[in-house]
Amino acid sequence: MERCQEYRPGGAGFRGSVESEVFVSTRKVQKMRQIMTAWTGMCSKQGDYDEYYFFQHKFKKTVFSYETALYLQGLTDKIPQLIEASVPYSYKINNLPNNVKLYYVKSDISDMGAIEVKTIYQNKVRAYNIERIICDFVQNKNNIDPEVYVKTIRGYASSKNSDINKLFIYAKKMGIIEKVRTTMEVIYE
């Protein structure tokens, strides 16, 4: 067995010694749980860390958007590098984690298209539906990965579940109806 040393947080480094690799890995797990608990104020019963659920539990008015919303609904196989969420302008967030990109939107459209979806851990979170994602993509086309943009628009156009009327209602409320109409005309041609 390899000799390992125990790390004592807050101390001057390593102290004592223990002959167990299990001890070290258990300590690492405990430390990770402490870090997760400190950030979220809770841990799941199984010890799993559902970052989407915990993030939305802490920041209640957020709605997952853009690529994060696509991922949560199983509409892309690309795992998001950042959590993308939208909030009303009036909602201020302090101490935002580094892996989050926040979009501020008008209060009257902040909940438009919000649906309840399940994370991979079966926790319920709020995310925008595909029609709202399409509107956000068209509105911010220059800031979207071109490959994801094209796949999403084409996938929507060929889907049996697409609701073009709902898409145009959202586009009208967001003031981008002409952009959405032009984009969809090109795709349907």
| Percent of the chain whose predicted confidence (pLDDT) is above 70 | 75
Tokens linked to 60? 């209640």
Let me know how long the chain is.
189
In angstroms, the Cα distances linking 169 to 6, 18, 89, 93, 164 are 60, 65, 22, 30, 9
Q: pLDDT tens digits, residue range 6-21?
A: 444 444 444 444 443 4
SS3 13: coil
- Residue 68 in contact with residue 80, Cβ under 8 Å? yes
Angle of helix 177-188 relative to helix 164-174, nearest 10 degrees, comes to 150
> How far is it, in rounded angstroms, from Cα 113 to Cα 15?
55
> How far is it, in rounded angstroms, from Cα 57 to Cα 49?
13
At residue 2, what is the residue type? E
Q: Is the pLDDT of residue 140 over 90?
A: yes
pLDDT of residue 136: 97
Of 3-7, 115-119, 146-150, the range with the lowest mean pLDDT is: 3-7
- Residue 65 in contact with residue 20, Cβ under 8 Å? no
Q: pLDDT tens digits, residue range 24-47?
A: 455 555 555 555 554 444 454 556
At residue 72, what is the residue type? L
Q: pLDDT tens digits, residue range 81-138?
A: 999 999 999 998 888 889 999 999 999 999 999 999 999 999 999 999 999 999 999 9
